[in-house]
Amino acid sequence: MVNVAIVGLGLVGSELLAQLHKTKNHALRVVALTNSRRMLLSDASYTPLASTAATALAASESATSLSELAAYLAASLVPAVVVDCTSSDAVAALYPSWLRAGLSIVTPNKKAFSGDLELYNEIRSLAAFANGPFVYHESTVGAGLPVLSTLSDLVKTGDKVVKVEGIFSGTMSYIFNNFSTLNTAGEKKRFSEIVTVAKELGYTEPDPRDDLNGMDVARKVAIAGRLIGVPLTLSTLTVENVVPAPLRTVSTSHEFLTRLPEHDEHFAALNAQAAKAGEVLRYVGVVDALEPAHSGAKFVRYPAAHPFASLQGSDNIIKITTERFPNGLIIQGAGAGAAVTAFGIFADLLRVQERVGGL
Amino acid sequence: MVNVAIVGLGLVGSELLAQLHKTKNHALRVVALTNSRRMLLSDASYTPLASTAATALAASESATSLSELAAYLAASLVPAVVVDCTSSDAVAALYPSWLRAGLSIVTPNKKAFSGDLELYNEIRSLAAFANGPFVYHESTVGAGLPVLSTLSDLVKTGDKVVKVEGIFSGTMSYIFNNFSTLNTAGEKKRFSEIVTVAKELGYTEPDPRDDLNGMDVARKVAIAGRLIGVPLTLSTLTVENVVPAPLRTVSTSHEFLTRLPEHDEHFAALNAQAAKAGEVLRYVGVVDALEPAHSGAKFVRYPAAHPFASLQGSDNIIKITTERFPNGLIIQGAGAGAAVTAFGIFADLLRVQERVGGL
């Protein structure tokens, strides 16, 4: 039995709630929900909240207080997990206090695992005990794809991870899979056109520059690196910004998209150069465990036969090279979206449930 | 703390012992080893066996008695796991008695999970408790690739697995990746030549017909199917036998290999037909959850752009299609060999260790 609190009831939090209710897993009981304004705590006997709880949250008159939430969870004899479905730095900063209160944490929020190393190390040391509390964050990299669990297993069983290389951003994947292909059928689309369509499809952040600047990929590189013992930080990682320099400072995303066509020729030329060599353009993240300084978020070319070259849609693909897998262990599939992100969170919750199962 | 007994000290068992000793994970202590003749039990205080235990086993004067082994493990207050590194039906038949004695089981032995459904269901029902004993068998499919754990997570979180399709045999992978390629450079090799080289490289069973008959793939299909709730059995699965009919009854593998060139034209013709359509030949396993009767081990063709077509070496590749992953979640990498098989076993042992961690 595990008490579950969901902090942040946006797309992912709501989908998780739906998945939890659908499976009728009675060992994971949702007893608290919060969004940025309101909070809903189950009664003092920690009765599970019904599947209509999202509606009840909207009607709740309690203002959100994360310290009150933590105290409520810690007061139960039943172990509890806080699921942080925000992308907030402020919430991430609370993890140490939650862990000290014995609360486990499961989250797709990248901030704590890619930001300040001191916070990161504090979290790791507070979650280093066999009987909990536990921290799982599979969905911070590749959403529900089993990337971090596999890296963790490789490390714990004594394998040497040499390199982790991949297309970690669904947005970058969509843009370059469509822009740069060796398939000669059909007319070539302009770069600006593809970015505009990606935004219309909801594949980008509200301002597509927040994807194209490479910072999301850099965060995932830092997370994967730290997990295999390479203490990467955003400030020292090499991050290539795909946004043309003159457009980095324009104030609105509308202006950015309006002026992006001025740079279509630049991207078309890069594409043509690559095609001439039988290659395609891809935006990848790299953790190089042997030469950590070569790690980063990079705009590079791959030959047609490489698995990254034939990627489709907005899939992620991650290649892990180790002593035991010298030719690589590859994991590929949808790496963004509420359903697969919530799946990754749910799978992490099952780990916590299993680990406290005997209690 | 978990007591570990390794049954069967061949290539995989020895590699596992080496990996366990190398990581200095003191929570998993190897206290017993057996091969088909001898047995080595640690003393009554269950002191861990040293890394030289394999030598000590060879010198042991105790005859192997698996019932004595089970009694020895069950007598400790520390939870225990039996790691079955044999491929024996007789050992698999003992699992229910071990589970009844409270012993967990981790194994790459496919027999219990692909054979008699009654044995399978008995094992599942004895391993259905949150506080153990536990059964894990990741290495029965794709060796250390995270295939079964991912399928299990998908099912437990309420996803609907529609199809599992893949190249599950390293041997079949090697043979057809080399025989059937759209790469026109270099001369085409004869089928018999590739099979002979595969045997020389140690990629096949002593008699390559034991790979080419498709039964190994069929077993993996049954295992994956059962895990997602499709109760497949070897006797009802469609299994295509690639061994030419006249060679199925010849008595020795030597005679088989000597006469295989008589059938090179047959395979070359199939290959040419496929190539004409821009396709390649591959031997795959399929679990079709919607039409279970379409499940099986099949010799089929894939277009050049399909991920199965560009596979290299002896890699496995498994594509899982679900409601949440309509375009597939793909896992690819080395799916055979002692190092990666032992890795899969070790990762399973970590699951058991985590689940009894608080005790």
Alpha-carbon distance of B42 to B40, in angstroms, equals 7
Partners of B23 on chain A (C-beta within 8 Å) are 156-158
> Which portions of chain B are predicted below pLDDT 70?
184-186, 358-359
pLDDT at A21: 95
Identity of residue A136 = Y
pLDDT at A67: 96
pLDDT at A183: 74
From the list A328, A350, A356, which residue is nearest B153 (CB)?
A350
Residue B191 maps to a domain: yes
B156: annotated active-site residue: no
Residue B212: give the domain boundaries: 155-334
Residue A227 maps to a domain: yes
Does residue B133 have a cis bond before it (omega within 30 degrees)? yes
Residue B95 maps to a domain: yes
- In this prediction, residues A208-216 reach a mean pLDDT of 97
Q: Give me B23's structure tokens.
A: 């990581």
Alpha-carbon distance of A311 to A169, in angstroms, equals 12
Minimum distance, in Å, between the CA of residue A315 and any CA atom of chain B: 9
Contact, A357 vs A28, CB < 8 A?
no
| Mean pLDDT of chain A, nearest integer | 95
| Residues B81-93: b if buried by 16+ CB within 10 A, e if exposed | bbbbbbeeeebbe
For A220-244, write each residue's pLDDT tens digit. 999 999 999 999 999 999 999 999 9
Alpha-carbon distance of B155 to B162, in angstroms, equals 11
Alpha-carbon distance of B20 to B16, in angstroms, equals 6
Residue B149 maps to a domain: no
pLDDT at A184: 67
What angle in degrees, to the nearest 10, is found between the helix axes of A147-156 and B338-355?
A: 100
Question: Are B157 and A312 inside 8 Å of each other by CB?
Answer: no
Number of folded domains in chain B? 2
Residue A272 maps to a domain: yes
Q: Are residues A28 and A120 in the same domain?
A: yes
Q: Are residues B200 and B101 in the same domain?
A: no
Q: Give me B302's structure tokens.
A: 């894939």
Identity of residue A191 = F
pLDDT score of A64 more than 60: yes
The chain B residue lying nearest A315, using CA atoms, is B327
3-state secondary structure at position A200: helix
In sign, the C-alpha dihedral spanning A100, A106, A109, A115 is positive
Q: Are residues A179 and A306 in the same domain?
A: yes
Q: Are residues A29 and A7 in the same domain?
A: yes
* H or E element that contains B147: helix B147-156
Identify the residue whose tokens are 């399928």: B151
Residue A263 maps to a domain: yes
Q: Are residues A240 and A101 in the same domain?
A: no
Q: Are residues B219 and B88 in the same domain?
A: no
For A121-169, write each residue's pLDDT tens digit. 999 999 999 989 999 999 999 999 999 999 999 999 999 999 999 999 9
pLDDT at A359: 45
* Beta-bridge partner residues of B32: B5, B41
Identity of residue A125 = S
- In this prediction, residues A268-295 reach a mean pLDDT of 97
Q: Are residues A252 and A190 in the same domain?
A: yes
Q: Give me B139's structure tokens.
A: 């290495």
Minimum distance, in Å, between the CA of residue A343 and any CA atom of chain B: 7
From the list B27, B157, B313, which residue is nearest A19 (CB)?
B157
Question: Are A157 and B350 inside 8 Å of each other by CB?
Answer: yes
Query: Closest by alpha carbon to B287, among B213, B237, B214?
Result: B237
Residue A149 maps to a domain: no
Task: Count the residues in chain A.
Answer: 359
Q: Are residues B123 and B207 in the same domain?
A: no
Question: Are B354 and A146 inside 8 Å of each other by CB?
Answer: no
Q: Give me B313's structure tokens.
A: 């070496």
Q: Are residues A243 and A314 in the same domain?
A: yes
pLDDT score of A179 more than 60: yes
In sign, the C-alpha dihedral spanning A13, A152, B164, A309 is positive
| Residues B152-173: b if buried by 16+ CB within 10 A, e if exposed | bbbbebbbebbbbbbbbbbbbb
Does residue B79 have a cis bond before it (omega within 30 degrees)? no
Q: What is the CATH number of the domain that holds B80?
A: 3.40.50.720
Partners of B312 on chain A (C-beta within 8 Å) are 327
Q: Are residues B103 and B231 in the same domain?
A: no
Q: Which residues of A are catalytic?
A: 220
pLDDT score of A255 more than 90: yes
pLDDT at A185: 62
Q: Give me B291's structure tokens.
A: 């039409």
pLDDT at B184: 67
Q: Are residues A101 and A167 in the same domain?
A: no
Residue A150 maps to a domain: no
Q: What is the CATH number of the domain that holds A302?
A: 3.30.360.10
| Chain B interface mutation, best of A17, A324, A340, highest count of B Cβ atoms under 10 Å | A324
A182 confidence band (pLDDT: 50, 70, 90): confident
pLDDT at A241: 98
For B171-215, write each residue's pLDDT tens digit. 999 999 999 998 766 678 999 999 999 999 889 999 999 999 999
Q: Are residues A250 and A125 in the same domain?
A: no
